[in-house]
Amino acid sequence: MKSDQTKIPQATAKRLPLYYRFLENLQASGKQRVSSTELSEAVKVDSATIRRDFSYFGALGKKGYGYNVSYLLSFFRETLNQDELTKVILVGVGNLGTAFMHYNFSKNNNTQIVMAFDVMEDKIGQEMGGVTIHHFDTLEKMLPEEVTVAILTVPVHAAQNIADRLVEAGIKGILNFTPARLSVPDSVRVHHIDLSVELQSLVYFLKHYPV
Ligand code: ATP
Protein backbone atom coordinates (compact mmCIF):
# COMPACT_ATOMS: atom_id res chain seq x y z
CA MET A 1 0.00 0.00 0.00
CA LYS A 2 1.44 3.32 -1.05
CA SER A 3 1.32 5.86 1.74
CA ASP A 4 3.86 8.49 0.90
CA GLN A 5 1.99 11.46 2.27
CA THR A 6 4.34 14.01 0.72
CA LYS A 7 2.94 13.05 -2.67
CA ILE A 8 -0.66 13.84 -1.75
CA PRO A 9 -1.68 17.38 -2.74
CA GLN A 10 -3.02 19.54 0.06
CA ALA A 11 -6.47 19.85 -1.51
CA THR A 12 -6.72 16.05 -1.56
CA ALA A 13 -5.47 15.76 2.02
CA LYS A 14 -8.20 18.15 3.16
CA ARG A 15 -10.88 15.89 1.69
CA LEU A 16 -9.58 12.75 3.38
CA PRO A 17 -11.49 13.17 6.67
CA LEU A 18 -14.68 13.60 4.64
CA TYR A 19 -14.09 10.38 2.73
CA TYR A 20 -13.02 8.63 5.88
CA ARG A 21 -16.17 9.40 7.81
CA PHE A 22 -18.42 8.32 4.98
CA LEU A 23 -16.52 5.08 4.39
CA GLU A 24 -16.62 4.23 8.09
CA ASN A 25 -20.39 4.56 8.08
CA LEU A 26 -20.50 2.45 4.95
CA GLN A 27 -18.41 -0.30 6.53
CA ALA A 28 -20.51 -0.17 9.68
CA SER A 29 -23.57 -0.80 7.54
CA GLY A 30 -21.89 -3.85 6.02
CA LYS A 31 -21.05 -2.51 2.55
CA GLN A 32 -17.80 -3.77 1.08
CA ARG A 33 -17.53 -1.72 -2.05
CA VAL A 34 -18.51 1.69 -3.27
CA SER A 35 -18.55 3.44 -6.63
CA SER A 36 -17.13 6.90 -7.17
CA THR A 37 -20.63 8.06 -8.17
CA GLU A 38 -22.07 6.88 -4.84
CA LEU A 39 -19.22 8.52 -2.98
CA SER A 40 -19.64 11.67 -5.02
CA GLU A 41 -23.29 12.01 -4.11
CA ALA A 42 -22.62 11.40 -0.45
CA VAL A 43 -19.68 13.74 0.08
CA LYS A 44 -20.60 16.31 -2.60
CA VAL A 45 -17.30 16.11 -4.45
CA ASP A 46 -17.43 15.42 -8.19
CA SER A 47 -16.53 11.89 -9.16
CA ALA A 48 -13.59 12.88 -11.39
CA THR A 49 -11.98 14.59 -8.40
CA ILE A 50 -12.63 11.53 -6.24
CA ARG A 51 -11.03 9.24 -8.81
CA ARG A 52 -8.00 11.54 -9.04
CA ASP A 53 -7.76 11.80 -5.23
CA PHE A 54 -7.90 8.05 -4.84
CA SER A 55 -5.34 7.44 -7.56
CA TYR A 56 -2.78 9.32 -5.44
CA PHE A 57 -2.80 6.52 -2.94
CA GLY A 58 -2.87 3.71 -5.41
CA ALA A 59 -6.56 2.91 -5.06
CA LEU A 60 -7.75 2.29 -8.56
CA GLY A 61 -11.44 1.60 -8.85
CA LYS A 62 -12.44 -1.29 -11.07
CA LYS A 63 -15.09 -0.69 -13.68
CA GLY A 64 -18.33 -2.25 -12.54
CA TYR A 65 -16.90 -2.94 -9.09
CA GLY A 66 -15.92 0.39 -7.61
CA TYR A 67 -13.58 0.69 -4.64
CA ASN A 68 -12.91 -1.74 -1.89
CA VAL A 69 -14.13 -0.08 1.32
CA SER A 70 -11.79 -1.79 3.76
CA TYR A 71 -8.73 -1.13 1.56
CA LEU A 72 -9.57 2.56 1.48
CA LEU A 73 -10.27 2.67 5.20
CA SER A 74 -6.99 1.06 6.13
CA PHE A 75 -5.18 3.57 3.94
CA PHE A 76 -7.02 6.49 5.49
CA ARG A 77 -6.46 5.18 8.99
CA GLU A 78 -2.74 5.11 8.37
CA THR A 79 -2.66 8.49 6.65
CA LEU A 80 -4.85 10.29 9.13
CA ASN A 81 -3.32 8.57 12.17
CA GLN A 82 -6.75 7.28 13.04
CA ASP A 83 -5.24 4.47 15.08
CA GLU A 84 -3.58 6.99 17.33
CA LEU A 85 -5.41 9.33 19.65
CA THR A 86 -4.31 12.91 19.02
CA LYS A 87 -4.48 15.06 22.11
CA VAL A 88 -5.34 18.73 21.77
CA ILE A 89 -5.87 21.68 24.10
CA LEU A 90 -8.60 24.30 24.06
CA VAL A 91 -8.10 27.95 24.96
CA GLY A 92 -11.14 30.03 25.93
CA VAL A 93 -13.94 28.20 27.69
CA GLY A 94 -16.76 30.60 26.73
CA ASN A 95 -19.98 29.56 25.02
CA LEU A 96 -18.33 27.98 21.99
CA GLY A 97 -15.43 26.52 23.98
CA THR A 98 -17.87 24.97 26.44
CA ALA A 99 -19.76 23.30 23.60
CA PHE A 100 -16.52 21.78 22.30
CA MET A 101 -15.58 20.55 25.76
CA HIS A 102 -18.83 18.62 25.89
CA TYR A 103 -18.51 17.35 22.34
CA ASN A 104 -16.90 13.97 22.15
CA PHE A 105 -14.46 14.45 19.28
CA SER A 106 -12.79 11.10 19.85
CA LYS A 107 -16.00 9.26 18.99
CA ASN A 108 -15.78 10.66 15.47
CA ASN A 109 -12.17 11.26 14.64
CA ASN A 110 -9.73 10.18 17.34
CA THR A 111 -8.85 13.58 18.63
CA GLN A 112 -9.44 14.49 22.22
CA ILE A 113 -9.34 17.69 24.25
CA VAL A 114 -7.13 16.84 27.20
CA MET A 115 -6.75 20.23 28.83
CA ALA A 116 -8.35 23.67 28.69
CA PHE A 117 -7.19 27.19 29.53
CA ASP A 118 -8.99 30.39 30.43
CA VAL A 119 -8.32 33.52 32.45
CA MET A 120 -11.60 33.94 34.29
CA GLU A 121 -10.96 33.09 37.92
CA ASP A 122 -14.29 31.34 38.53
CA LYS A 123 -13.62 28.95 35.65
CA ILE A 124 -10.12 27.96 36.76
CA GLY A 125 -9.98 24.55 38.43
CA GLN A 126 -13.42 23.57 37.11
CA GLU A 127 -13.88 20.31 35.30
CA MET A 128 -15.90 20.03 32.14
CA GLY A 129 -16.47 16.82 30.22
CA GLY A 130 -13.73 15.27 32.37
CA VAL A 131 -11.21 17.97 31.44
CA THR A 132 -9.74 20.50 33.88
CA ILE A 133 -9.57 24.23 33.12
CA HIS A 134 -6.24 25.85 33.98
CA HIS A 135 -5.18 29.48 34.05
CA PHE A 136 -3.63 30.53 30.74
CA ASP A 137 -0.67 31.92 32.71
CA THR A 138 0.29 28.34 33.50
CA LEU A 139 0.31 27.26 29.83
CA GLU A 140 4.05 26.60 29.58
CA LYS A 141 4.07 24.67 32.84
CA MET A 142 0.98 22.57 32.12
CA LEU A 143 1.18 21.86 28.39
CA PRO A 144 2.04 18.19 27.88
CA GLU A 145 5.03 17.78 25.57
CA GLU A 146 3.19 15.59 23.08
CA VAL A 147 0.39 18.13 22.53
CA THR A 148 0.96 20.27 19.44
CA VAL A 149 -2.58 21.29 18.49
CA ALA A 150 -4.78 23.98 20.03
CA ILE A 151 -8.40 25.00 19.50
CA LEU A 152 -8.79 28.75 19.89
CA THR A 153 -12.17 30.03 21.13
CA VAL A 154 -11.21 33.32 22.79
CA PRO A 155 -12.43 36.87 22.11
CA VAL A 156 -11.00 38.33 18.90
CA HIS A 157 -8.92 41.01 20.68
CA ALA A 158 -7.04 38.40 22.68
CA ALA A 159 -6.42 35.99 19.81
CA GLN A 160 -3.07 37.18 18.43
CA ASN A 161 -1.34 37.43 21.83
CA ILE A 162 -2.60 34.01 22.77
CA ALA A 163 -1.49 32.56 19.44
CA ASP A 164 2.00 34.01 20.02
CA ARG A 165 2.16 32.36 23.43
CA LEU A 166 0.92 29.05 22.03
CA VAL A 167 3.57 29.09 19.33
CA GLU A 168 6.26 29.95 21.92
CA ALA A 169 5.10 26.98 23.96
CA GLY A 170 5.50 24.60 21.02
CA ILE A 171 2.03 24.46 19.44
CA LYS A 172 2.26 23.64 15.72
CA GLY A 173 -1.38 23.73 14.66
CA ILE A 174 -4.17 26.12 15.63
CA LEU A 175 -7.83 25.67 14.84
CA ASN A 176 -8.91 29.29 14.98
CA PHE A 177 -12.58 29.94 15.68
CA THR A 178 -12.09 33.67 16.22
CA PRO A 179 -12.54 36.19 13.40
CA ALA A 180 -8.88 37.28 13.87
CA ARG A 181 -6.45 36.74 10.99
CA LEU A 182 -3.55 35.30 12.93
CA SER A 183 0.02 35.78 11.93
CA VAL A 184 2.25 32.88 12.85
CA PRO A 185 5.64 31.58 11.69
CA ASP A 186 5.74 29.41 8.55
CA SER A 187 6.35 26.36 10.71
CA VAL A 188 2.89 26.74 12.27
CA ARG A 189 -0.35 25.93 10.56
CA VAL A 190 -3.59 27.80 11.21
CA HIS A 191 -6.95 26.57 10.03
CA HIS A 192 -9.51 29.29 10.29
CA ILE A 193 -13.19 28.60 10.90
CA ASP A 194 -15.18 31.77 11.14
CA LEU A 195 -18.71 30.59 11.81
CA SER A 196 -20.43 33.90 11.07
CA VAL A 197 -18.61 34.31 7.76
CA GLU A 198 -19.47 30.73 6.78
CA LEU A 199 -23.12 31.33 7.62
CA GLN A 200 -23.18 34.61 5.74
CA SER A 201 -21.59 32.97 2.72
CA LEU A 202 -24.14 30.15 2.78
CA VAL A 203 -26.99 32.65 2.86
CA TYR A 204 -25.39 34.58 -0.02
CA PHE A 205 -25.04 31.46 -2.17
CA LEU A 206 -28.59 30.34 -1.48
CA LYS A 207 -29.82 33.74 -2.52
CA HIS A 208 -27.73 34.19 -5.65
CA TYR A 209 -27.11 30.65 -6.82
CA PRO A 210 -30.26 28.73 -5.92
CA VAL A 211 -29.90 24.98 -6.37
P1 ATP B 1 -19.05 33.87 27.52
O2 ATP B 1 -20.54 33.96 27.55
O3 ATP B 1 -18.49 32.86 28.49
O4 ATP B 1 -18.37 35.21 27.61
P5 ATP B 1 -18.22 33.89 24.81
O6 ATP B 1 -17.77 32.77 23.96
O7 ATP B 1 -19.17 34.85 24.24
O8 ATP B 1 -18.73 33.24 26.12
P9 ATP B 1 -15.78 35.41 24.78
O10 ATP B 1 -15.76 36.81 25.26
O11 ATP B 1 -15.67 35.14 23.32
O12 ATP B 1 -17.00 34.72 25.41
O13 ATP B 1 -14.61 34.63 25.51
C14 ATP B 1 -14.44 33.25 25.38
C15 ATP B 1 -13.63 32.75 26.56
O16 ATP B 1 -12.29 33.18 26.42
C17 ATP B 1 -14.13 33.26 27.91
O18 ATP B 1 -14.32 32.17 28.79
C19 ATP B 1 -13.01 34.18 28.38
O20 ATP B 1 -12.87 34.15 29.79
C21 ATP B 1 -11.81 33.55 27.69
N22 ATP B 1 -10.67 34.47 27.56
C23 ATP B 1 -10.68 35.79 27.41
N24 ATP B 1 -9.41 36.26 27.32
C25 ATP B 1 -8.61 35.20 27.44
C26 ATP B 1 -7.19 35.03 27.47
N27 ATP B 1 -6.37 36.07 27.34
N28 ATP B 1 -6.71 33.78 27.61
C29 ATP B 1 -7.54 32.73 27.73
N30 ATP B 1 -8.87 32.82 27.74
C31 ATP B 1 -9.41 34.04 27.60
Q: Is 202 in the pocket of ligand 1 (CB under 6 A)?
A: no
Q: What is the pLDDT of residues 171-185, one digit of tens each?
A: 999 999 999 999 999
Q: How far apart are the CA of 85 and the centre of ligand 1, in A?
A: 27
Confidence tier at 135 by pLDDT (50, 70, 90):
very high
User: Ligand 1: which atom is nearest the Cα of residue 155?
Assistant: 11
Q: What is the pLDDT of residues 38-96, one digit of tens each?
A: 999 999 999 889 988 888 877 666 667 788 899 888 888 887 776 778 899 999 999 99
Q: Break the chain into its structural domains and give their ranges.
A: 5-78, 86-197
Q: What is the pLDDT of residue 55?
A: 84
Q: Is 91 in the pocket of ligand 1 (CB under 6 A)?
A: yes
User: Cβ contacts of residue 22 below 8 Å, gap of 6+?
Assistant: 39, 42, 43
Confidence tier at 109 by pLDDT (50, 70, 90):
low
Q: What is the pLDDT of residue 5?
A: 46
> Side-chain half-sphere of 61: how many Cα atoms within 13 Å?
21
CA-closest residue to ligand 1 atom 27:
158
Q: Does domain 86-197 have CATH number 3.40.50.720?
A: yes
| 4 has a pLDDT exceeding 50 | no
Distance, in Å, from the CA atom of 118 to the CA atom of 89, rounded to the nearest integer, reads 11
The model's pTM? 0.77
Q: Is 119 in the pocket of ligand 1 (CB under 6 A)?
A: yes
CATH number (2.60.40.10, 3.40.640.10, 1.10.10.10, 1.10.150.120) of 5-78 reads 1.10.10.10
| C-alpha distances in Å from residue 194, one per residue of 145, 146, 152, 189 | 28, 27, 11, 16
Residues in the chain: 211
